[in-house]
């Protein structure tokens, strides 16, 4: 692989990333100079103790929060150059979020929940409906299309959340402990669906998944561990020929 090809293959580059929170007069440093790179199409597990800054990092990568120092490059374009309006379209068009608590709108049917990010993109209603249905069938919810989100089990809501994250065909999926609220059997099913969809997507999808579970992390190509605001471990399993 020549230098150029290698550069094109990096979807996300994080350099000396810093983030702190200010509580009255107290400054709480959370990220103290985090560096890592993510290759397009890879599956990254983000580990770290509670309070180590995993959600903060994911929110910053997803442009839900601003960083205070350093830089993030998405396909070589710096985040700091995006204004608020650009952040919204960037997020809508490139990023899919999956949260531990699902965050489905309870009064809407799952078809409506899944279509929502596509509506913000102004897509054709008919095409959007058939895409949502296709995704919901793929995650095993073809028999629940007209159910409201609050009429579904946790595992079913998380499946629907995977479909919702994929509706705009994002290049990057940010998942914050997506199996954290589920029993281990349901969690394993969700991961399997997720992996299957990752493998079968029409274009390479990169996944960054927060987990506390090292057995889940062992499924990843790359493991990043946050400790004391820094990356204390980064294993690229692809380089070691494991994946
Ligand atoms: N809005 C905020 N204001 C002040 N401090 C915050 C804020 N959000 C997070 N923090 C602090 O930043 C640190 C990192 O929080 P974060 O939620 O990123 O941790 P985490 O690694 O996701 O933890 P968990 O595994 O429990 O979800 C914590 O000490 C937290 O108290
Ligand atoms: Mg968290």
Q: Tokens 């979807």 belong to which residue?
A: 11
Q: Which atom of ligand 1 is nearest to the CA of 177?
A: 27
For ligand 1, atom 25, name the residue with the nearest CA.
50
- Which one-letter DSSP state was computed for residue 106? T
- Residue 194, pLDDT score: 83
Rounded to the nearest whole angstrom, what is the distance from the C-alpha of residue 46 to the centroid of ligand 1? 15
Q: Is residue 22 part of a domain?
A: yes
Q: Is residue 243 part of a domain?
A: no
pLDDT at residue 242 tops 60: no
Rounded to the nearest whole angstrom, what is the distance from the C-alpha of residue 127 to the centroid of ligand 1? 39
Q: Could you tell me if the CB of 101 is within 6 A of ligand 1?
A: no
CA distances from 191 to 4, 10, 143, 194 (A): 34, 24, 20, 5
Residue among 234, 237, 236, 174 nearest 48 (CA): 234
- Residue 182, pLDDT score: 87
- Asked which of 158-162, 178-182, 224-228 is least confident by mean pLDDT, the reply is 178-182
Q: Is residue 211 part of a domain?
A: yes
Q: Could you tell me if the CB of 228 is within 6 A of ligand 1?
A: no
Q: Is residue 241 part of a domain?
A: no
**Total domains, the chain:** 1
Q: Could you tell me if the CB of 229 is within 6 A of ligand 1?
A: no
Residue 89 CA neighbour count, 13 Å, CB half: 5
Percent of the chain with pLDDT over 70: 94
Report pLDDT digits (tens) over 31-65: 999 999 999 999 999 999 999 999 999 999 999 99
- Asked which of 14-28, 73-87, 184-198, 217-231 is least confident by mean pLDDT, the reply is 184-198
Q: Which domain holds residue 109?
A: 3-236
Q: Is residue 216 part of a domain?
A: yes
Q: Quick one: pLDDT band at residue 239, thresholds 50, 70, 90?
A: low
For ligand 1, atom 27, name the residue with the nearest CA.
50
Report pLDDT digits (tens) over 112-136: 999 999 999 889 999 999 999 999 9
Kindly report the CATH number assigned to the domain that includes residue 144. Answer: 3.40.50.300
């Amino acid at each position: 692989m020549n230098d150029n090809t290698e550069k094109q293959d990096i979807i996300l580059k994080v350099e000396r990333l810093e983030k702190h929170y200010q509580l009255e007069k107290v400054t709480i440093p959370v990220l103290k100079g985090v560096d890592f790179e993510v290759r397009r199409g890879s599956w990254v597990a983000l580990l770290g103790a509670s309070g180590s800054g995993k959600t903060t990092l994911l929110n910053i990568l997803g442009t839900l929060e601003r960083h205070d120092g350093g830089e993030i490059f998405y396909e070589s374009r710096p985040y700091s150059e995006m204004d608020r309006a650009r952040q919204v379209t960037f997020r809508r068009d490139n990023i899919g979020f999956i949260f531990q608590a699902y965050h489905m709108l309870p009064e809407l049917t799952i078809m409506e929940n899944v279509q929502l990010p596509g509506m913000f993109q102004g897509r054709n209603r008919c095409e959007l409906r058939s895409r949502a249905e296709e995704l919901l069938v793929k995650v095993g919810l073809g028999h629940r299309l007209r159910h409201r989100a609050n009429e579904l089990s946790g595992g079913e809501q998380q499946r629907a959340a995977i479909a919702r994250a994929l509706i705009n065909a994002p290049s990057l999926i940010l998942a914050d402990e997506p199996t954290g609220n589920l029993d281990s059997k349901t969690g394993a099913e969700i991961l399997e669906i997720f992996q299957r969809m990752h493998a079968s997507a029409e274009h390479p999808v990169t996944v960054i998944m927060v987990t506390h579970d090292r057995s889940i992390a062992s499924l990843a190509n790359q493991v990043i561990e946050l400790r004391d605001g820094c990356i204390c471990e980064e294993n690229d399993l692809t380089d070691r020929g494991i994946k």
